[in-house]
């Protein structure tokens, strides 16, 4: 059952302007050190900006998906990574998990999809509650 939904779209040029103005300081407000290292390893400037834009959209979409459930996470409470298959996933920091363990552990799933093209980046997130049926004895 879906209990939260988040979507965000950003204009890549807007993110590029912020990045040009604030540089790495902007990234430190948005991303973890691990996320920054992965993003900065991209060779193409155009792809770098698109990836920053898609991460910004992803962070916003995750936060929006929590708006009706528990206290909204902040950018620093979670990271967006990719599985070896290429699909993105959300990893919460231990401090946030500990504060929200009754909600997050074992009974909720976050699905996230990211996309970008020349002018826009978009992220879509569903937060689902997983129900377990008790086996009859």
**pLDDT tens digits, residue range 26-45?**
999 999 999 999 999 999 99
Using DSSP, state whether 61 is helix, strand or coil: helix
Closest CA to 49 of 79, 88, 86, 23: 23
Q: 6, 5, 8, 42: which is closest to 27 by C-alpha?
A: 42
Separation in Å, CA 93 to CA 23, 47, 72, 128: 24, 27, 14, 19
106 located within any domain: yes
What is the per-residue pLDDT for 103?
67
Note whether residue 136 is domain-resident. no
Paired strand residues for 120: 11
DSSP state of 80: E
pLDDT tens digits for range 9-25? 999 999 999 999 999 99
Contact 124, 63 (CB under 8 A): no
Do β-strands 2-11 and 120-129 pair in parallel, antiparallel, or remain unpaired?
Answer: antiparallel
Residue 114 token pair = 């990211």
Which domain CATH number covers 24? 3.90.470.20
Q: Which domain holds residue 84?
A: 2-129
Residue with tokens 């290292």, as numbered in its chain: 37
Per-block average pLDDT, block size 10, for the chain (137 residues)? 91 98 96 94 95 96 82 88 92 85 69 94 90 52
In a domain, 19, yes or no: yes
State how many domains the chain has.
1
Question: Model-level pTM?
Answer: 0.86
């Amino acid at each position: 059952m879906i209990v939260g939904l988040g979507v965000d779209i950003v204009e890549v040029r807007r993110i590029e302007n912020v990045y040009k103005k604030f540089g790495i300081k902007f990234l430190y407000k948005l991303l973890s050190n691990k996320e920054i290292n992965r993003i900065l390893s991209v060779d193409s400037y155009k792809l770098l900006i698109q990836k920053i834009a898609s991460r910004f959209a992803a962070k916003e979409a995750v936060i929006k998906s929590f708006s009706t459930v528990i206290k909204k996470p902040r950018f620093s409470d979670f990271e967006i990574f990719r599985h070896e298959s290429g699909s993105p996933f959300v990893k919460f920091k231990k401090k946030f998990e500990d504060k929200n363990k009754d909600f997050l552990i074992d009974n909720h799933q976050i699905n996230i999809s990211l996309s970008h093209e020349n002018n826009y980046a978009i992220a879509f997130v569903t937060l689902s509650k997983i129900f377990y049926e008790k086996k009859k004895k």
